[in-house]
Structure 1
Amino acid sequence: MSSPPERSANPADSGTSGGRASGEGGRNASRTDGGRRPTTAGGIGSDPAGDPRSEGSESNPRGWRRRLDDASVLAFAGLTALTGAYASVLWRVTDVVGGSTEFVVVVVAALALAALVGRYVGVRVALGVTSGLLVLGLLAYLFALPQSQVELLTPDRMLDDTVALLTGLSVLRLVGAGVWAVAVVPGPVFLSWYLAVRRRYVSAAVAGGTALALVVLTGDADAVTTVVGVLGATTMIAASTFERHGSGLAQADVLTALLAAMIVVSATFSVVPGAAGSPLLPDRGAPTVEGSLVDARDNVDIVGSIRLSPEVRFTVESPRAEYWQTAAYDRYTGSGWVRTGSARPYDDRLRGPPGPARELEQTVTAEGPISILPAAWRPVDVSGPVASDTVVTPQGGIRPETTLQPGENYTVTSRVPNATAERLRAAGTDYPDRVRASYLQLPDSTTDRVRERAATVAADAETPYDKAVAVESYLEANKEYSLSVRRPSGDVADSFLFEMDAGYCTYYATTMVVMLRSQGVPARFVTGYTAGEDLGNGTHVVRGLNSHAWVEVYFPDTGWVRFDPTPSGPRQTAENARVAEAQQRGTANVDYGAPNGTTPIQAEGAVTTGSTADGSPSTPGGITTTGPTNATPSSVGGPAPGVPTAASEDGSGPIPALPTRRTLAVALVGLVGIVAGARRSALVDRTVRLGSVQFQRRRDPESDVRRAYDRLETILEREHRARRPGETPRAYIEALPTDEAESAERRRLVELYERARYADGVTETDADAAVSTVNRLVRASTPIVRRLR
């Protein structure tokens, strides 16, 4: 590319008068060249905004050209980090639901298009292309939705869903999440890179930052990803400042401080009050599974070690003991579970299972605040005051939109599937399309060894029912039960199968669902409570330690049938031990009925979870499956003998828990924001300067006097104004308002300064007088000293 015609023929002359004349000509040429800056050899495109500092200017032509190239490298490095941040979040969505290859192709195509048209088309055309990409993506998303979902897309519903996305609704909860991610990503990728090619770095940062803000608001971007994106955007703004002014982060510190504050605040206060197991303020000990499992509304993140709660949550009056379901989840992310779709208000009796079922009526009474509606599967009718605040999830469960207070109750009627093993073996595989679409999903990153292990375990099974029994028995027999585990960093099912020797119910249930789905058997992850303690009169007392996760498998003409792969023996031992410990400590709300004078429930022999009223085992639909049928709650009352817990009930423990990576990342963001804010407010500089004038290290008389005057000028600058360019010390002192005595001291100090710097010097006595005078003035001007006087 040819150099601009106004460039000096001899750059070395730029410091001479001829060079300056040439520089003036260069500036004039730049201003009359249609407002466009001449393109540099190492640059990309042009900047319509123009810049008076062309290569032929007096400000070092070669140095400025180098600065432009450095700014380009800095800007594109920041844009790469920013794009990678939000694109990685959306790619993760496509990895979970499918379509990751298409996603990568779309991103690469958007980048190539931006590089291709960036040099030749204007901004208006680029904005039109971006709008077209977004519209086409939206249409593709709508066409990909099931017809039942499209019928629900009224303008009000679309507005509600948009608001929900911007206030914490995970993208993974969208039915067509993969199509949505592929549809959304090309617009911001194309626009941000197009603007960067045009050297509009700030605008490019805004375009990419908008996409990042979206995935942050949906809650899908973790703290580390957000930090990387924020730093990328900040780097781009710094590059723009560097290019235009040859200075550093003139404005980026403001953006950095604001974004850091947003991240820290959102990470600190994103707490929704729930049931007793989900306190508003986090506990310092290991989490309860009620907080991470039962009280989780739309997603479940599988955690590491857990602690236990023996407190009574609710009681159930029911002629039969069942598992009291609170939620079902269909989408597996590799690290947890997500419930897709939107809940609808409960307005009438719900549809029951397609096959044989028995009707069961239950009356549930809250013994503490709960934000759940436990019920046997499948609930078909709800009565009581809470019915008007009940919603129905797409998975068929019920939940309240309010919190039930102690003493409040409701009655729910369920139709519990009642099929024999023979009927389930003959059920076949004619699954409805909606079941196949939702309950065979696995992330693209699911490892081959998980699929191979599942195929080996189910090799002799001829029917889906036999496969479910085989996987259930395999996990019961080959894994130990423990509450003290380290949360794996990779896929939970893969880690539990091949890297972990023990785990609790969430690990067992997750792994069983993944293994069955890999073999084409629809299954889902379910949370709730086991039956609790049976008082013998149809009343079941359910504690926090009864919270649990299990598996439901779908069978045509029968519906969802429960399986439980978690071993029951260690759970029963742990539950008895935990309740006994709590009773010995006098923990409140452990003995049901004790405050009213009734006989407390004793731990010994009280655990009858999984038994019916007549003492017979409660198995899926009355079916006898291999292996123990008693559930092992993930929040049982305490660890089995010899199994250490992560923390005691009050949060104390022999070894303090280290901060999580999320906590450390948020702390790092906060630190960056504090530094940026301090820089913008010049707080650090002012603090350093204020501290530096408090004391003076003595050297020789001339140096002491000059240092004393510098200290005086620092004080006067803070109290009045800085000395202007070309203003002499004497003129500066005379121009400032003061009383007569202080004015005389200032003039005497200036005289000594002038003698020390320009005349025959000063004596030791003069230096002592100068330092003493300034010391007194410093003490008088220090804010805290003035307040104390």
Structure 2
Amino acid sequence: MSADTERSRLLPVTLTAEFRLVTFAALAALTVSYGRVLYHVTDVVGGARLMLAVLLGSATLAVVVGRVLRVRTAVFLTLLLLGGGVTVYFLSVPASQRALISPPRLLSDTVALLTGLSVLRLTQANVWALSIAPAPVFLSWYLAVRRRYVGSVVVGGAALGFLVLTGDAGTYTTLAGVVGAAGVVGFGTLDRYGGTGAQVDTLVILLVAMVVVAATLSIAPTTRTGPVLPDRTSPTGVASFVDSGDNVRVVGTIRLSPQVQFTVQSPTESYWTTATYDRYTGSGRVRSGDTDPYVGRLRGPPGGGRALGQTVTAETELGAMPAAWRPVRVEGLPANRIRVTSQGSVRPTTTLDPGESYTVTSRVVDAPPEELRSAGTDYPEGVVERYTQLPASTPDRVGARAANVTAAADAETPYEKALAIEAHLESSKRYSLTVERPEGDVADAFLFEMDAGYCTYFATTMVTMLRAEGVPARFVTGYTPGERVDGEFVVRGLDSHAWVQVYVPDEGWVRFDPTPASPRESAERARLSEARQSGEPGVDTENSGSSTPTPTPTGGDGTAVTDTAQAPTGNVSFGTGDSGAVGGTVPQRTTIDDGYELPSTETLAFWGIVLVGVGAAVRRTGAGGRVVRAVWLRRRGPRRDPDADAVRAFERLVYLLERQERPRRPGETPRAFVRSVTDDGRAARVLATYERARYGDGVDRVAADDAADAVGELVRERTLPTRPFVG
């Protein structure tokens, strides 16, 4: 018989079973923490139900074979699962991309994942998640069944740690996983070696302390001033989208930055694009795919388009390369400082310093509305799959609303559907920079729960509605034209904006802007005027100080706003996703009809955990029992049978004397105990009444009440204020 088996035999059976049950519950929490991230990937890209089956199936298989499979065999099987998964993923990658894979590329991609590259940016991210998931789940649960709890945590913790490094595991997810891992080790040790209730309480207190400390500490990384900033009262730190981040997340209230970001010398105005995003996560956007080196020429739109040259000069540090869509040539910067995204945007490898400039030649779509309206649905291969993607969890009512809007407008072609949805959002929602970021799907909340929002909400919702209608659309960030001064455009942070591109066969990506124009214009003017009056630095160039932004026409006449059209300025704000910079982890709240704000799920869970910890601490210290006894001591209690009341009065007296004099010795009679610790006549009367009630003919109501009153007097005298009662 092994030592573990012998120890288990000596422990009470129910206690060992309870420890093991809690251990597996903690392992489930660890598994759910990284499994939730993998499930989210498949929810966004596809295969969510299959992921659930994979996670549950792997754990079930481990439990079934855990007692019969040797450890070496299980490890070998895990390696087979992992190797097979990598092979499946490799074969799922398109052949054109597979040909580019080499050992150095694999190494660089691995390093990128370990330094913040989101899994959602991978090609075939859902296949990757489904291929990787079985191995850690199976091995961690197998080792737990074999009672090798530390090894189980190492495997599960490695899976979670990897997803933390990629930036896909958020604060609460990571915290849940860490607490689960600690619970597996702690309760697993009690399972293997035995433990007491006091040890359980201590462990629970430590776990709760981990949660409280981790949830109350926040780190806000310093970032330079961007074009859009969080509102001073906003709890969420915001990283400006001007840096062309790969992940963007819709946030709540923001304020506009009036500082000049760059100037553009161009014969005509345009929207200056910085980034495009294809994947929608329900709370933000992700740019999938890798970037490629710039080789001197980029592909233009299918219809050719009109050539437009622009010279962009940075007035502050820029992490992006604004350009009219679609850029086909870049000059003025070394080729090794330029990268091209898989969506066609250009971005710098290093930040552009103030004064640096580059020249871009773009091919701008300028097809007339008649041609766009008559375009069919003969999309290039891959466009529909990539740009009609929606999370599986997207509420059905979003698609239903989109169908109702297009049907009411008799919209049949994709272009007409885009016009109808654009007009619907412009007319049905107000523009406001002061909003409460909703929980859940942003587009769904904006359509059905919010009255107002800014451009990020409008663009996100329009893209989602179009995709629900099967129209390829994508989310775009950048800047509106800015202020025209002496032949150049002065572009400020308050010109930052988000809009929509819709793919039209034979023409390319056509721009739509569903955000109401006039309110954006008013917000821009007010913010610039405020900045000038208060003397904020960097809000003007040498020639722009005495001028005011010129109102620009929009597509309010029912025609598409292409890159040759003027449009009013706007704003947009983005965070860095679940794993991004957080300036204080303050959960958002839900508002009900009467105006009362309900705490978020995270807040309720946090305080629930705190209460569990308080309960464990009370149990561990015995404070709960002492409080109950202290209250019992001070309460006379309801009148019942006189004999019962007399007994109760004596029990209160004994409890008081034991706590303040000495405990009653084994075998010591009530009379001997009371007479040995006090000579107070009231205590003698209580004792005499007790003896008659317990051993004699009983007592009447007067005697019972006298005993209760006497004990009450003794309690008050002995506990307050001269001799505080220590329960």
Farther off after superposition, 189-198 or 143-152: 143-152
2:340 is aligned with what amino acid? V
User: Which of these residues, 626, 631, 634, is aligned with residue 572 of structure 2?
Assistant: 634
- 1:340 is paired with a residue whose SS is coil
Q: Distance in 1 between matches of 2:297 and 2:205?
A: 56
Partner residue, 1:480: 430
More relative contact order, 1 or 2 (CA 8 Å, 6+ apart): 2
Confirm or deny: 8 A CA contact 2:496 2:569 kept in the other structure.
no
Confirm or deny: 8 A CA contact 2:373 2:415 kept in the other structure.
yes
User: Which of these residues, 530, 533, 540, is aligned with residue 584 of structure 1?
Assistant: 533
User: Which of these residues, 507, 510, 519, is aligned with residue 558 of structure 1?
Assistant: 507
Q: Is residue 2:210 matched to residue 1:268? A: no
Please report how far the alpha carbon of residue 267 of structure 1 lies from its aligned counterpart in structure 2 after TM superposition: 6.4
- 1:268 is paired with a residue whose SS is coil
Q: Distance in 2 between matches of 1:237 and 1:503?
A: 47
Cα displacement string for residues 559-587 of structure 1 (whole angstroms, at most 9, x for unaligned residues): 11111011100111111111111111111
1:406 is aligned with what amino acid? P
Please report how far the alpha carbon of residue 250 of structure 1 lies from its aligned counterpart in structure 2 after TM superposition: 13
Partner residue, 1:619: 561
2:572 is aligned with what amino acid? S
Partner residue, 1:135: 83
Q: Is residue 2:451 matched to residue 1:509? A: no
1:117 is aligned with what amino acid? V
Please report how far the alpha carbon of residue 633 of structure 1 lies from its aligned counterpart in structure 2 after TM superposition: 2.8
User: Which of these residues, 568, 584, 593, is aligned with residue 517 of structure 2?
Assistant: 568
Q: Distance in 1 between matches of 2:217 and 2:329?
A: 38
Q: Distance in 2 between matches of 1:667 and 1:449?
A: 32
Partner residue, 2:439: 489
Confirm or deny: 8 A CA contact 1:288 1:307 kept in the other structure.
no
Matches within 5 A, 1:270-285: 271=221, 273=223, 276-277=226-227, 285=233
Please report how far the alpha carbon of residue 427 of structure 1 lies from its aligned counterpart in structure 2 after TM superposition: 2.1
Cα displacement string for residues 299-345 of structure 1 (whole angstroms, at most 9, x for unaligned residues): 11000111111111111000000000000000000000000011112
Q: Distance in 2 between matches of 1:547 and 1:386?
A: 26
Confirm or deny: 8 A CA contact 2:499 2:514 kept in the other structure.
yes
- How high is the sequence identity, in percent, across the aligned residues? 52
Please report how far the alpha carbon of residue 294 of structure 1 lies from its aligned counterpart in structure 2 after TM superposition: 3.1
Partner residue, 1:602: 547
- 1:127 is paired with a residue whose SS is helix
1:519 is aligned with what amino acid? E
Confirm or deny: 8 A CA contact 1:168 1:218 kept in the other structure.
yes
Partner residue, 1:102: 50
- 1:413 is paired with a residue whose SS is strand
2:435 is aligned with what amino acid? V
Cα displacement string for residues 170-189 of structure 1 (whole angstroms, at most 9, x for unaligned residues): 11111211111111111111
- 1:291 is paired with a residue whose SS is coil
Q: Distance in 1 between matches of 2:376 and 2:210?
A: 55
Matches within 5 A, 1:283-302: 285-286=233-234, 291-302=239-250
Partner residue, 1:727: none
Q: Distance in 1 between matches of 2:6 and 2:201?
A: 19
Q: Is residue 2:302 matched to residue 1:354? A: yes
Please report how far the alpha carbon of residue 292 of structure 1 lies from its aligned counterpart in structure 2 after TM superposition: 4.2
- 2:329 is paired with a residue whose SS is strand
Q: Is residue 2:1 matched to residue 1:53? A: no
Q: Is residue 2:341 matched to residue 1:393? A: yes
Distance 1:665 1:162, change over 3 A: farther
Confirm or deny: 8 A CA contact 1:529 1:547 kept in the other structure.
yes
Q: Which ranges in structure 1 are unaligned for 5 or more consecutive residues? A: 1-29, 31-35, 38-49, 56-60, 637-657, 676-701, 704-789
Partner residue, 1:159: 107
Q: Distance in 2 between matches of 1:463 and 1:661?
A: 42
Q: Is residue 2:141 matched to residue 1:193? A: yes
Please report how far the alpha carbon of residue 500 of structure 1 lies from its aligned counterpart in structure 2 after TM superposition: 0.7
Q: Distance in 2 between matches of 1:159 and 1:391?
A: 19
Distance 1:618 1:182, change over 3 A: closer
Q: Distance in 2 between matches of 1:378 and 1:346?
A: 15
Matches within 5 A, 1:37-76: 50=4, 53=7, 55=9, 61=10, 63-76=11-24
Distance 1:622 1:391, change over 3 A: closer
Cα displacement string for residues 575-602 of structure 1 (whole angstroms, at most 9, x for unaligned residues): 1111111111111111221xxxx56233
Please report how far the alpha carbon of residue 491 of structure 1 lies from its aligned counterpart in structure 2 after TM superposition: 0.5
Alignment root-mean-square deviation, CA = 3.6
Q: Distance in 2 between matches of 1:168 and 1:635?
A: 21
Q: Distance in 1 between matches of 2:554 and 2:397?
A: 37
Please report how far the alpha carbon of residue 363 of structure 1 lies from its aligned counterpart in structure 2 after TM superposition: 0.8
Partner residue, 2:625: none
1:172 is aligned with what amino acid? L
Q: Is residue 2:492 matched to residue 1:543? A: yes
User: Which of these residues, 366, 374, 391, is aligned with residue 322 of structure 2?
Assistant: 374
Q: Distance in 1 between matches of 2:228 and 2:519?
A: 25
Matches within 5 A, 1:241-252: 241-247=189-195, 248=199
Q: Is residue 2:398 matched to residue 1:450? A: yes
Farther off after superposition, 82-91 or 249-258: 249-258
Confirm or deny: 8 A CA contact 1:314 1:365 kept in the other structure.
yes
Task: Please give the TM-score of this superposition, normalised by the length of structure 1.
Answer: 0.69
Distance 1:601 1:524, change over 3 A: farther
Number of aligned residues: 587
Q: Distance in 2 between matches of 1:274 and 1:563?
A: 31
Task: Please give the TM-score of this superposition, normalised by the length of structure 2.
Answer: 0.74
Please report how far the alpha carbon of residue 245 of structure 1 lies from its aligned counterpart in structure 2 after TM superposition: 3.4
